[in-house]
Each structure stands twice: as structure tokens, then as C-alpha cells.
């Protein structure tokens, strides 16, 4: 098992948002996290990524407590992409991608030949060559998500944690994004933990899905057991008649 949480309770200032999260992820697997706005998806991801302190429970990475890894070890093994807040003053997109190599570079952040190659590969994979020289603050939200994905990929982590990475992408780039994830998983045996609202895509790419509501994990399993009309209506509090009127074809 690559990553595992054991009765993990997450929240802010000692107040639980989600209790007793037990999930696991192996190398080469994609695990998706779904749930309504405010249900706690980001809180779970921030806690696993180590930017938010857990309230209780355990997070194990390769059977070892995550706290026992050094900052540098964690930075090499985990790559995290949160789209909300990114500080980038006057950086080009290329420079933002390059910061993904920081766990490997020296004190001055100088890039080696290997670093440059990883950056170049990621830029090509995500198809951002056309605007790599542009100022990061002067591109669209969707382009920004692709730059951040390139940054996360060039870090060559063992596990990629992505918080709603596809929300601003057009349909073409959503599909490309998911193809890239599949490729990383198949070719590099990367593990991916991802939250998303595109349920149709989530169903297709997930090995396992975790659904959260009302402070707990309400469903956890293979996508064919999760993405039923019944579950989705319940999870997002959608009246059945409206579901069938507007979303009927989306799931079985
Ligand atoms: P999601 O990502 O599923 O939309 P979040 O994990 O962001 O949900 O939020 C879950 C709950 O935690 C919400 O009730 C939200 O208001 C609360 N919350 C989010 N961030 C903070 C914070 N920094 N401090 C206190 N409460 C927060
Ligand atoms: Mg969120």
C-alpha cells in the first residue's frame, strides 16, 4: 500500500469537518474524491498533503507514519496541486513549472540538466509551449491549471494530489488532462488522489471513489457501485425528478 489513512479526522481549530476517513491508494491507482461544495474534499486533501494539521487518526505512507518523513522526503514523494491560492509575482509560466523541481535543486534553486529535461517533458505533455514565456498572472484560469499540472508532474512524485484540477478547463483540455493522468499512472506507476465535480469523468477514470457528505465518508468503493442515480441524488441532494430531467444519461 502506498498511502493509507486510518480513522483520519480532519478539520480546523480542533473542530472536525470529516471524521474517521479510511482510504487507501496503491501505486498506479486513481482515487477520486466527490461531494458537494463545502463537504470537506479540500480539507481531506490538505491534511494528507501536510498543509493542514490532522485532528486525529493516522496517515501512513508505505506503512510508515507520514510524520516520520522529513520535509524534503515528503516534497520528493508528494506533489500537490491546489488551484485556489498561488503566489507568483511576476513569474513566467515556465518559471512556475520550474519551481516543481525545487525539492531536487540546490540552495539557489539552480536547475541541473535532469531538472531541465523534466521541466521540458512536463511542458510538452501538458501542451503549454505556446504560452510558456507569458506572465503567469496574465493567462486564463484554464491555462493556469495546465501550468500548475505541468509543475506538479515535473516534480516526478510517487503520489499526485490534485484538488479540482479540471474545474476551469474546456472539454478538450479536460479530456487531455485525464489522458495525461492515465498515462502517468500507466507508465510511471504514479498514484493519483483527485477531487473533482465532473462525475462522468470521475466514473471513467477512478479505480476507487470516495464520496463525502455530512461530516463522513458515505460511500467508498469501485465506481460502478458509487455512480448510481440513487447515490448521486442523495450525495448532492438532487430531487429525483430533476435528476432524471437534466442528468438522466450521465449515470446508469
Ligand atoms: P470542499 O472542498 O468539499 O468544497 P472544504 O474542505 O473546502 O470543502 O470545506 C469543508 C468545510 O470546512 C466547510 O464548511 C468550510 O466552510 C470549512 N473550512 C474550509 N476552510 C476553512 C478554514 N480555513 N477555516 C475554517 N473552516 C474552513
Ligand atoms: Mg474544495
In total, the chain counts a number of residues equal to 252
DSSP category for residue 39: S
| Pocket flag, ligand 1, residue 213 (CB < 6 Å) | no
Q: What is the pLDDT of residue 162?
A: 96
Q: Which ligand is nearest to the CA of 82?
A: 2
Q: What is the pLDDT of residue 31?
A: 98
Q: Helix (H, G, I), strand (E, B), or coil: what is residue 92?
A: strand
Q: What is the pLDDT of residue 238?
A: 93
User: Span 3-247: which CATH code?
Assistant: 3.40.50.300
Q: How far is the CA of 108 from the centre of ligand 2 (A)?
A: 33
Q: What is the pLDDT of residue 86?
A: 63
Residues 53 and 47 sit within 8 Å (Cβ to Cβ): yes
Ligand 1 atom nearest residue 37's Cα: 4
Q: How far is the CA of 204 from the centre of ligand 1 (A)?
A: 27
| Pocket flag, ligand 1, residue 37 (CB < 6 Å) | yes
Q: How far is the CA of 11 from the centre of ligand 1 (A)?
A: 8
Mean pLDDT of 38-61: 96
| Pocket flag, ligand 1, residue 43 (CB < 6 Å) | yes
End-to-end CA distance of the chain: 31
| Pocket flag, ligand 1, residue 38 (CB < 6 Å) | yes
If one compares 75 and 39, the residue with the highest pLDDT of the two is 39
**Distance between CA 210 and CA 222 in Å, rounded?**
9
Residue extents of the structural domains in the chain: 3-247
Q: How far is the CA of 42 from the centre of ligand 1 (A)?
A: 7
Grid cell locating 243: 435528476
Cβ neighbours around 206 below 10 Å, total: 24
Measured at the CA of 152, the angle between CA 34 and CA 165, to 5 degrees, comes to 30
Query: Which of 146, 106, 115, 151 minimizes the C-alpha distance to 130?
Result: 146
Q: What is the pLDDT of residue 88?
A: 65
Residues 47 and 225 sit within 8 Å (Cβ to Cβ): no
Q: Which ligand is nearest to the CA of 34?
A: 1
Measured at the CA of 94, the angle between CA 90 and CA 95, to 5 degrees, comes to 50
Ligand 1 atom nearest residue 44's Cα: 6
Residue 84 has pLDDT above 70, yes or no: no
Mean pLDDT of 242-247: 84
pLDDT by residue (tens digit) across 104-152?
A: 888 787 899 999 999 999 999 899 999 999 999 999 988 999 999 999 9
Mean pLDDT of 206-223: 97
DSSP category for residue 223: H
Mean pLDDT of 219-241: 94
Bridge-based pairing of strands 208-213 and 56-61 is unpaired
**Distance between CA 25 and CA 3 in Å, rounded?**
5
| Pocket flag, ligand 1, residue 156 (CB < 6 Å) | no
Mean predicted lDDT score pLDDT of the chain? 92
Asked which of 40-44, 71-75, 191-195 is least confident by mean pLDDT, the reply is 71-75
Residue 1 has pLDDT above 80, yes or no: yes
Q: CA of 74: how far to CAs of 49, 71, 139, 197, in Å?
A: 9, 5, 30, 27
Q: What is the pLDDT of residue 234?
A: 95
Q: Which ligand is nearest to the CA of 165?
A: 2
Q: How far is the CA of 40 from the centre of ligand 1 (A)?
A: 6
Q: Whose CA is nearest to atom 21 of ligand 1?
A: 12
Percent of the chain whose pLDDT exceeds 70? 96
Amino acid at each position: 500500500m502506498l498511502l493509507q489513512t486510518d480513522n483520519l479526522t480532519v478539520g480546523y481549530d480542533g473542530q472536525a469537518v470529516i471524521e474517521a476517513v479510511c482510504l487507501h491508494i496503491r501505486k498506479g491507482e486513481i482515487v477520486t474524491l466527490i461531494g458537494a461544495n463545502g463537504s470537506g474534499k479540500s480539507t481531506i486533501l490538505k491534511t494528507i498533503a501536510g498543509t493542514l494539521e490532522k485532528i486525529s487518526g493516522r496517515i501512513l505512507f508505505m506503512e510508515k507514519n507520514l510524520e516520520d518523513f522529513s520535509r524534503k522526503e515528503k516534497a520528493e514523494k508528494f506533489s500537490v496541486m491546489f488551484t485556489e491560492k498561488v503566489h507568483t509575482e511576476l513569474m513566467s509560466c515556465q518559471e512556475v513549472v520550474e519551481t516543481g523541481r525545487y525539492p531536487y535543486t540546490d540552495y539557489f534553486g539552480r536547475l541541473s540538466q535532469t531538472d531541465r529535461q523534466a521541466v521540458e517533458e512536463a511542458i510538452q505533455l501538458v501542451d503549454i509551449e505556446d504560452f510558456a514565456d507569458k506572465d503567469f498572472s496574465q493567462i486564463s484560469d484554464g491555462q493556469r491549471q495546465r501550468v500548475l499540472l505541468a509543475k506538479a508532474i515535473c516534480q516526478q512524485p510517487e503520489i499526485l494530489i490534485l484538488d479540482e484540477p479540471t474545474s476551469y478547463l474546456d472539454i478538450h483540455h479536460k479530456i487531455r488532462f485525464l489522458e495525461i493522468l492515465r498515462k502517468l499512472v500507466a507508465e510511471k506507476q504514479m498514484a493519483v488522489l483527485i477531487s473533482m465535480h465532473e462525475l462522468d469523468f470521475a466514473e471513467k477514470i477512478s479505480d476507487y471513489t470516495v464520496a463525502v457528505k455530512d461530516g463522513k465518508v458515505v460511500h467508498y468503493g469501485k465506481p460502478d457501485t458509487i455512480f448510481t442515480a440513487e447515490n448521486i441524488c442523495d450525495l448532492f441532494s438532487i430531487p429525483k425528478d430533476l435528476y432524471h430531467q437534466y442528468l438522466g444519461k450521465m449515470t446508469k
